[in-house]
Structure 1
């Protein structure tokens, strides 16, 4: 077989392999965690989802609560830094907040880098109901984007 060409068996393996997507946000507490959980739940047959932060702090209770409302359990998710993935390769790296887009260090390996920003629900103010409404809105925006994109 000519150099650079793949055999039919190799093409099949590539088509069957799940694509690896890394969602990056500053704190890896809300938007990236929700995106990871949503992609796993909605498109887990085709994608492996991961999330990390440039300055990880912990998973926000509002993210956990509003994801549970739609049957997605992220209680056991942990906030991780990019370094926790070492030299792992990803097919796509998606920044979901502007700060992460500006400060995201180089992620190893060949991949597509993409930005899809969402408002930070953790920055919402007001009553507990107001804050949860912000989390629900952002969760739904992320869900709709994932359904359109993946």
Structure 2
């Protein structure tokens, strides 16, 4: 089973989703990419994922172009921007899904508030992708 998770920058939400989905089932082939990949991971995302027990520090931020010729069981977008760019995958994807999340890197305020936004979004991503995993991959939905 091959799953590609798409976002715009591939530095935060798609990376968290990638880390969680891989942690649920190590037999899955999970990749993440961005329509405008930043080339680096969001350090706050790495930090809050580590606090949740999932290390994504070894991930790379890759352009979606790297995966255009591959076949995917699922392509999942996690932000509005990438959702508009997905049709390029139509011929090589069995299932397209959109599971959207706020971008915690847009949070403005105190360091405590910003930290709380990363944690909130991280927890929403974990819940959303665990539900996807149970329903779509394990067939328990």
Compute the TM-score of the two structures, normalised by the length of structure 1.
Answer: 0.82
- Which SS does the other structure have where 2:48 is aligned? helix
Shift of 1:109: 1.3
2:118 corresponds, among 118, 126, 135, to 135
- Which SS does the other structure have where 2:11 is aligned? coil
Asked if residue 48 in structure 1 is aligned to residue 29 in structure 2, the reply is: yes
- Which SS does the other structure have where 1:55 is aligned? coil
Q: Which residue of 2 aligns with 1:13?
A: none
Shift of 1:105: 4.8
Q: How does 1:98-117 map to 2 (within 5 A)?
A: 98-107=80-89, 109-117=92-100
What do you get for the CA RMSD once the two structures are aligned? 1.3
Shift of 1:59: 1.0
The 1-side partners of 2:70 and 2:79 are apart by: 22
The 2-side partners of 1:26 and 1:70 are apart by: 24
Q: Which residue of 1 aligns with 2:5?
A: 23
- Which SS does the other structure have where 1:91 is aligned? strand
Asked if residue 70 in structure 1 is aligned to residue 70 in structure 2, the reply is: no
Compute the TM-score of the two structures, normalised by the length of structure 2.
Answer: 0.87
The 2-side partners of 1:127 and 1:85 are apart by: 38
Shift of 1:77: 1.0
The 2-side partners of 1:105 and 1:122 are apart by: 26
Asked if residue 93 in structure 1 is aligned to residue 75 in structure 2, the reply is: yes
The 1-side partners of 2:126 and 2:41 are apart by: 18
Q: Aligned pair in 2 of structure 1 residues 74, 133: CA closer, same or farther (>3 Å)?
A: same
Which structure 1 residue ranges, 4+ long, deviate > 2 Å from structure 2?
A: none
Count of residue pairs brought into register by the alignment: 131
The higher radius of gyration belongs to: 1
